[in-house]
Amino acid sequence: EADIYQTPRYLVIGTGKKITLECSQTMGHDKMYWYQQDPGMELHLIHYSYGVNSTEKGDLSSESTVSRIRTEHFPLTLESARPSHTSQYLCASRPDRGGAFFGQGTRLTVV
Amino acid sequence: AQSVAQPEDQVNVAEGNPLTVKCTYSVSGNPYLFWYVQYPNRGLQFLLKYITGDNLVKGSYGFEAEFNKSQTSFHLKKPSALVSDSALYFCAVRDLGRDDKIIFGKGTRLHILP
C-alpha cells in the first residue's frame, strides 16, 4: 500500500461553503499532483507541485487553489463551492524516477 | 509533446480467456510508460512500469505489458482473465519536458464476463 492519504473520503456540502481537501504522503516525494475525475471518466490534472513553495496550474482550469508549505502536505481549497465542482478529486505523489502513487480520492458533492 | 492513446473505451472478455488492453504513445526520447487500475470509488493503483530493459514487463495481479518501440505501443495483457479484473485501466506516459508531468490516457473499461 502506498503511504498517501486523502481526507475526507466523501463530502457533501452546500453551495457557497469553503472547503479544504487534505492530502498527505509519508514517502518524502517532492512531486505532488491533484487530478479531477468524473466517475468512470478520464483524469484531468488541475494542480501540481515540484516541492515546498512550488505550485503550478494543470491542464484543466480550476477555481481551486493549492499550497505546499511542507513536503508531505498538499491541500486543495475551494473558497466557494458550487454544484459544478461536484466530482472526484485524486491526489498523487511520485519519486523522481518512477510512477505516481495515488490516494483513495475524495468524492465531493455540492448541493 | 508527449501523449498516450487508448483506442478502446470498453473491452469485454470471457473469464478464463486472455485479455489485451491497448495503449499507444507518442514521445520524444525514451518513454517512461505506466499502467494503472481503478476499481469503483477508489483511487488509482499502480500495476507496472517500463523505463528501460526487457520489453516484457511483469506487474501486479498477474498482469504484464509488452513494450514495442517500432509500433509505439504498450499493451496490457493477462493470460487468463478473472471476473475480479473488471475495472477501469489507465495507460500513462511521463512527460520529460519542463513540467515533468504524468499524462494519462482516457481509460479503458475492462469487463470480464463470468
Residues of chain A in contact with residue B106, where contact means CB-CB under 8 angstroms, are 41-42
pLDDT of A39 reads: 82
The region, left, alpha or beta by phi > 0 then psi within -120 to 50, assigned to residue B98 is alpha
Q: How confident is the model at residue A76 (pLDDT cuts 50, 70, 90)?
A: very high
Banded model confidence at residue A62, pLDDT cuts 50, 70, 90: confident
Nearest CA in chain A to B109: A40
**Beta strand residue intervals within A1-111, DSSP E:** 4-7, 10-13, 19-25, 31-37, 44-49, 56-57, 65-66, 76-78, 87-94, 101-102, 106-110
Least reliable range by pLDDT among A18-22, A101-105, B38-42, B55-59: B38-42
Alpha carbon of B28: minimum distance to chain A alpha carbons (Å): 17
User: Which tens digits make up the pLDDT trace of B9-45?
Assistant: 999 999 999 999 999 998 877 788 999 999 987 889 9
Which chain A residues have a beta carbon less than 8 Å from that of B49? 98-99
**In whole angstroms, what is the distance from residue A9 CA to residue A25 CA?**
16
Look up residue A93 and give its three cell numbers.
505523489
- In the block, which residue shows the cell 511542507? A70
- Is the per-residue pLDDT at B64 higher than 60? yes
